[in-house]
Structure 1
Amino acid sequence: MTALLTTTTPVAPPSPRRRGGGFLRSLLHNRKAMIGLIIFIVFTVLAVVPQLFTSVTEPNKLAFPPALPPSSEHWLGTTSLGQDIWAQLVYGTRQSLVIALVAGFFATVLSVLVGVSAAYLGGVADDVLSMIINVFLIIPTFPLIIILATYAGKGTLSVVIIVLIITGWSYGANQMRAQALSLRNRDFLESARVRGERRSYIIFREMLPTMTSLIVANFLGAALYSVLTAAGLQFLGLGDPNSISWGTMLYWAQNQQALQSGMPLWSLAPGCCVALLGVSFALLNYAFDEFSNPALRPVRRRRRAAA
């Protein structure tokens, strides 16, 4: 008898996919994310190293002839007070970006703490925290901002940031509570309770990692809110008029009647920068919504090569 020997070729195990590779690939192929990220990087570079983009070291100093038109020496001209508009625009990026990131970060942290705690604890704690969230949601926001900024003492950056945090956390907290309520009775959380894990462990190690995309989206929304609201506060004169930011540039341009005096770039340049930074956060927010929600992802036709 002849024995038939069959040889099987070993199948190579699938190569492990690196964590974050799918997210990075989705980010690079998403036009909204790439446009928003490029705009944000440009403003970040301007904020970190402004001296690379202008030779003026003291943008508030009255060192030039007033109301000069745009030229090779003064790209956007000068103000009616003799200040270089381009230098103020570049140096003003730092404060505007700091307000957006710091206020957005702490508003998001407060939203996560209040919203997730209310949903997980339940009972009386949920009722009390939900009532606080609803109270802040129904209060008219901008009048409250003006009142807080006026009575807290205008003139400091910290006051503007604190006011933005107080008025900007409630909407995100409501979203966090709704998402945490849908996760509270999931099997992986029940197993953690059965194991005897602490509440802090369950919230921070089990629940929050599943809400990462929603947390990032809330941070971008809070940063967008902070950019626009801070510019509005400073435009109304509720910030420090001697500081360098886009909002204070708009305040002084309005105060000196820049549009009527033939200096439109004094008003248009900071207004466009505020709008561009807001567009950056909005596009990144839409992109993260698409990453987290498959129903929002655009349907693309995949071309298959002929065998």
Structure 2
Amino acid sequence: MTPTPSGTPTTSGTPSTWRSRLGSAFAMFRNPKSIAGLSILGFFVLVAIFADVLAPYSPTKVDHTARFQPPSAQHWLGTTHIGEDVLSQVIHGTRGVIVVGFLAAIIATLIAIVVGVVSGYLTGWRSESLSALTNVFLVIPGLPLIIIVASVFEDPPLLLIAGVLGLIGWAWGARVLRAQTMSLRNRDFIQAARANGEPLRRIITVEMLPNLMALIAASFVGTVTAAILGLTTLSYIGVIPVTTYNWGTILNWAGAQGAFRQNQWWWYLPPGLCIAAIGVALSLINFGIDEYVNPRLRSAGERARAMKKKGLSVNDAVTAVRPTSPQPTQETAS
């Protein structure tokens, strides 16, 4: 027996129950903030998938007759110091950013779910051991570890970089899931499932995980943000080889060739705006999830949208009061 969003227990496993759970799991993405963020993120995902079709040139194609050219009809975002098309580099660089960000988030989220939920449900030395492991990974410095890995491999692949970012980025999500699981394990429906003799894997996957979907989604989005920022930062400072195209390597080349000093904005501004745009998209998704999880934020958002529909300003200090009919005075009553 598991509780539905209305609080009424229902039988696990029925088709209507699974449809209800699936709908409630995606309810966090139905507010305007999440929809806007998912739209922007979906645009970058499509660009990454169809990069070979969308890019007008190869990112390494050199045109010595078009060096340092500003945006034009032939090169929409201008060219680099050796005549490479900036737009093609930005489009192909999107693929590396999306692959590393999502792959690192998947690895980190899976580890966080296993360690956080299991350590929160279990008690005794097993729970404390997993909690100690989480604390160890919390204090491991990520940047030196990635520098060491990059120095071992002459040209580290993106999958390896994503794996390292995922291995050092799961601890915070595991701590949050552990705390929430510890509050769920004493709920009535969990106690009932334990009394019915249900195995541990079913209690966790069927009874607990649906109630943790919002936190898992927020942890996933936060890890994607951290992984993308980590990749672009490491590429910009030169830790990751510049032959691996992403927005950070474009900024690295622009800085090395003096684009910042010579105000060649068409070289460094587009990748910078792309990093900002995908950061805004992920932040909007996270804000939407927070509004879904926090009842106060959800009620405040619903109240603000209702006031806007009525033509009222959300920032008004005084709420409009519906006029009422005047009460009869004593003289009128007599």
Show CA shifts across 1:165-188 (max 9, x none): 121100000001001000111111
In the alignment, is residue 208 of structure 1 matched against residue 209 of structure 2? yes
* In structure 2, distance between residues paired with 1:94 and 1:114: 30
In the alignment, is residue 59 of structure 1 matched against residue 55 of structure 2? no
Q: Residues 152 and 159 of structure 1 are in contact (CA less than 8 Å); yes or no, is this contact kept in structure 2?
A: no
AA aligned opposite 2:243? N
AA aligned opposite 1:265? W
AA aligned opposite 2:129? V
Show CA shifts across 1:112-161 (max 9, x none): 11101111122111111111111222344434443444346653212211
Q: Residues 235 and 247 of structure 1 are in contact (CA less than 8 Å); yes or no, is this contact kept in structure 2?
A: yes
* In structure 1, distance between residues paired with 2:157 and 2:46: 24
Task: Give 1:177's aligned residue.
Answer: 178
Cα distance, 1:257 vs structure 2:
1.9
Task: Give 2:239's aligned residue.
Answer: 238
Q: Residues 157 and 239 of structure 1 are in contact (CA less than 8 Å); yes or no, is this contact kept in structure 2?
A: no
Task: Give 1:110's aligned residue.
Answer: 111
Equivalent residue runs for 1:10-49 within 5 Å: 19=20, 27-28=29-30, 30-49=31-50
* In structure 2, distance between residues paired with 1:82 and 1:51: 19
Cα distance, 1:61 vs structure 2:
2.1
Cα distance, 1:51 vs structure 2:
4.3
Q: Is the partner of 1:168 in helix, strand or coil? A: coil
Cα distance, 1:24 vs structure 2:
6.8
* In structure 2, distance between residues paired with 1:154 and 1:170: 28
* In structure 2, distance between residues paired with 1:127 and 1:230: 33
Task: Give 2:190's aligned residue.
Answer: 189
Distance 1:170 1:152, change over 3 A: farther
Cα distance, 1:269 vs structure 2:
1.2
Equivalent residue runs for 1:1-307 within 5 Å: 19=20, 27-28=29-30, 30-56=31-57, 58-64=58-64, 65-151=66-152, 155-297=156-298, 298=301, 299-300=303-304, 301=306
Corresponding pairs, count: 288
Q: Is the partner of 2:290 in helix, strand or coil? A: helix
Q: Residues 155 and 238 of structure 1 are in contact (CA less than 8 Å); yes or no, is this contact kept in structure 2?
A: no
* In structure 1, distance between residues paired with 2:127 and 2:86: 51
Distance 1:126 1:149, change over 3 A: farther
Cα distance, 1:238 vs structure 2:
2.0
Structure 1: tracts of 5 or more residues without a match = 1-15
Distance 1:152 1:171, change over 3 A: farther
Q: Residues 96 and 246 of structure 1 are in contact (CA less than 8 Å); yes or no, is this contact kept in structure 2?
A: yes
* In structure 1, distance between residues paired with 2:149 and 2:27: 44
Q: Residues 133 and 170 of structure 1 are in contact (CA less than 8 Å); yes or no, is this contact kept in structure 2?
A: yes
Show CA shifts across 1:276-301 (max 9, x none): 11111111011011112212222334
Aligned Cα RMSD in Å?
Answer: 2.5
AA aligned opposite 1:184? R
Cα distance, 1:93 vs structure 2:
0.9
Cα distance, 1:248 vs structure 2:
1.3
Distance 1:148 1:125, change over 3 A: farther
Q: Residues 107 and 222 of structure 1 are in contact (CA less than 8 Å); yes or no, is this contact kept in structure 2?
A: yes
* In structure 1, distance between residues paired with 2:171 and 2:75: 44
Task: Give 1:4's aligned residue.
Answer: none
Cα distance, 1:25 vs structure 2:
7.5
AA aligned opposite 1:146? I
Q: Residues 154 and 238 of structure 1 are in contact (CA less than 8 Å); yes or no, is this contact kept in structure 2?
A: no
Cα distance, 1:98 vs structure 2:
0.9
Task: Give 2:11's aligned residue.
Answer: none
Q: Residues 155 and 241 of structure 1 are in contact (CA less than 8 Å); yes or no, is this contact kept in structure 2?
A: no
TM-score (normalizing by structure 2):
0.79
Q: Is the partner of 1:175 in helix, strand or coil? A: helix
